[in-house]
Amino acid sequence: MKKYSPPKNINKSQTVKEMNWFDKLAHPGQFLKWSKYLILPLSLITIALFGIGLWFAFFNSPEDYQMGDTVRIMYIHVPNAWLSQFVYMAMAVSAIGTLVWRHPMADVSMKVAAPLGAAFTALALFTGSLWGRPTWGTYWEWDGRMTATLILLFMYLGLVALWRSFDDQLRAAKLIAVLTLVGAINIPIIKFSVDWWNTLHQPSIISAEGLSMPASIYTPLLVMMLAFTFLFVTLHLVGMRTEILKRKADALIRKSVSQTGNKGVGK
Amino acid sequence: MSFRAFTAIIKRDVKMAMRSFGDGLTLVLFFIMIGVIIPFAVGPNKVLLATIAPGVVWMAAFLSSLLAIDRFFRADFEDGSLLAMRHASISLSTIAFAKLIALWLTTILPLIFATPMLAMMLNMDYELFFRTILSLLVGTPALIAFGGIGAAITVSLKRGGLIAPVLILPLSIPILIFGISAIKTNAGVGVENTAVLFLLGISMLAMVFAPFAIALALKLDQE
């Protein structure tokens, strides 16, 4: 196992030159430098995609012949449902980064992704229940997919709570990485068991798969999925920058406290 | 040699649990009380009670095991035994496996012995009762294995007892699903056998893989 040790002084161009390209990209100090230039373009792309997607979704897509205007909830619901799983995948990859390469950036990525994933999952459930009311006639159905998403939300919230209950964030990262991977292995089992349980209890009344999608519905959906994915990437990047700066500030505070403390003892 | 060390860990944990007999008794009381509280909540309708009895027994076992896992590594962590175990002649994952078996013997087995009381109070018939025992025997090792992972991850937290159940509950839902399906006779032809097999599969997989996750978490925690 290769342990990652950041160089002492990142301002010296000598040490930065000696690093390979990956270390350069992933070094916290360097990351703060290059990611600064990404935020504005990423935000602009996100806003543009949302503009196009929402315009398509509200004004330039047909009503469904059965569901009418409520089909437009799908353009918000499906992207959030996709992200609820995508974010966990990103977290699991970061967890491998934490455990195998012991990379501090993987810790930061994992930590920032958890509340974002929880938010997207909660939105997917919320929009899903809003959509369920007019189409299925109920806010909540113990449908296999909804149930699995609810369990996923609890897993996200558990991880967020766990991050908050540790003081030492470096130790927290390793332990949470273990739990994240255990959860990742479990997600297919949960999905399978919930589907099995659901078919046992009640046959599905309406399935969303029944709709064959014409391009006029497909296009805005894809644009909105892209828009939400870019939203996640942007928020994730900003969150990672904030977390790094917060850790730097914490380290500075600790340093100054220990220095003044030493002086006090010396005198 | 290594097998003797393995059995020694089990013996040690069982012996320690026997000496603090009150803890185990409290857990059994808690298990029974959940079953006793349910009739007050839903009414003493015998038909209704018999219908929900399998679910009640599983919920009681579920909650009791969540209470039990906090004690899993806590004492060993606090008195330093865990540090000594890291330098034992057998690997930490083997020790974790032994401790999982000991935990099952000292917390779940007493609950299973107490199940007849619940069965009587919830108006279970004999067939339902034996199915419940079978499903508990087959499914609870997985419950303990997941609980062990949660306990290992939160062992250094002072308030780990609160957060570990929250982490473990979502992961344990498949066990509950297959555990209940294994009992219910009206679920469909052959379904209950399939459920028992699934439950057995999950339990065996969890008991094999959990010790490695537990050992990894304990090692990372003490770095």
- pTM above threshold 0.80: yes
pLDDT at B21: 79
CB contacts, 8 Å: B159 with chain A: 165
What is the full per-residue pLDDT of chain B (223 aa) written as tens digits? 578 888 988 999 899 888 887 878 889 999 999 888 988 988 888 888 888 888 899 999 988 988 888 778 888 888 888 888 888 888 899 999 999 999 999 999 999 999 998 888 888 888 888 888 999 999 999 999 999 999 999 888 876 668 888 899 999 999 998 888 888 765 555 666 788 888 999 999 999 999 999 999 998 887 7
Does position A205 have pLDDT exceeding 50, yes or no?
A: no
pLDDT of residue A14: 47
Residue-range definition of the domain harbouring residue B36: 2-221
Residue A210 pLDDT > 70: no
Distance CA A194, CA A198 (A): 6
Chain B residues within an 8 Å CB radius of A189: 174, 202
The answer, for A110 touching chain B at a CB cutoff of 8 Å, is: no
Establish if A21 belongs to a structural domain. no
HSE-CB at B127 with a 13 A cutoff on CA atoms is 5
pLDDT tens digits, one per residue of A40-89: 999 999 999 999 988 888 887 777 666 677 778 888 898 999 999 999 99
Q: How far does B171 lie from chain A, in Å, by closest CA?
A: 7
Which SS3 state, helix, strand or coil, does residue A66 take?
coil
Domains held by chain B: number? 1
Q: By C-alpha distance, which of A201, A183, A141, A89 is closest to B173?
A: A183
Q: What pLDDT is attached to residue B44?
A: 85
DSSP letter string over A103-122? -HHHHHHHHHHHHHHHHHHH
A55: amino acid identity, one letter: W
pLDDT at res. B1: 54
User: Please, are residues A229 and A86 in contact by the beta-carbon 8 Å criterion?
Assistant: yes
Of A158, A171, A192, Cβ closest to residue B221: A171
pLDDT of A180 over the 90 cut: yes
Residue with token string 């002084």: A9
Contact between A228 and A79 (Cβ < 8 Å): yes
- When pLDDT is cut at 50, 70 and 90, the band that residue A266 belongs to is very low
Distances (CA, A) of A36 to A40, A87, A222, A234, B44: 8, 22, 28, 11, 66
- The reply to whether A240 falls in a domain is yes
Instruction: List the single residue in A161, A162, A174 with the smallest CB-CB distance to B220.
Output: A174
Domain-located, residue A140: yes
What's the pLDDT score for residue B192?
Answer: 64
Stretch A245-264: mean pLDDT: 80
Domain interval for residue A117: 33-203+214-248
**Signed CA dihedral, A155, B106, B206, A195: sign only:** negative
What's the confidence (pLDDT) of residue B188? 55
Q: In chain A, whose CA is at the least distance from the CA of B145?
A: A182
**pLDDT surpassing 70 at residue A203:** no
Cα–Cα dist A111/A118, whole Å: 12
pLDDT in tens, B92-151: 999 999 999 999 999 999 999 999 988 888 888 888 888 889 999 999 999 999 999 999
Q: What are B's interface residues with A at a Cβ cutoff of 8 A?
A: 149-150, 153-154, 156-157, 159, 163, 166-167, 169-171, 173-174, 177-178, 181, 187-188, 191, 198, 202, 209, 213, 216-217, 220-221, 223
Q: CB-CB: which of A162, A179, A193 is closest to B178?
A: A193
Give the model's pLDDT for residue A228: 94
pLDDT at A13 over 70: no
Query: What average pLDDT is seen over chain A?
Result: 82
What pLDDT sits at residue A17? Answer: 59
Domain count, chain A: 1
Chain A residue numbers with beta carbons less than 8 Å from the beta carbon of B166 are 154, 157-158, 161
Spatial distance between the Cα atoms of A36 and A13, rounded to a whole number of angstroms: 19
Q: How many CB atoms lie within 10 A of CB B120?
A: 11
Q: Which residue has the higher pLDDT, B136 or A213?
A: B136
For residue B28, give every residue at least 6 positions away whose Cβ sits within 8 Å of its Cβ, in sequence order, or none: B110, B111, B114
Which residues from chain B sit within 8 angstroms of residue A179, using beta carbons? 149-150, 153, 167, 217
pLDDT at B194 (0 to 100): 82
**Residue A204 in this model has a pLDDT that exceeds 50:** no
Residue A38 has which token pair? 């990404």
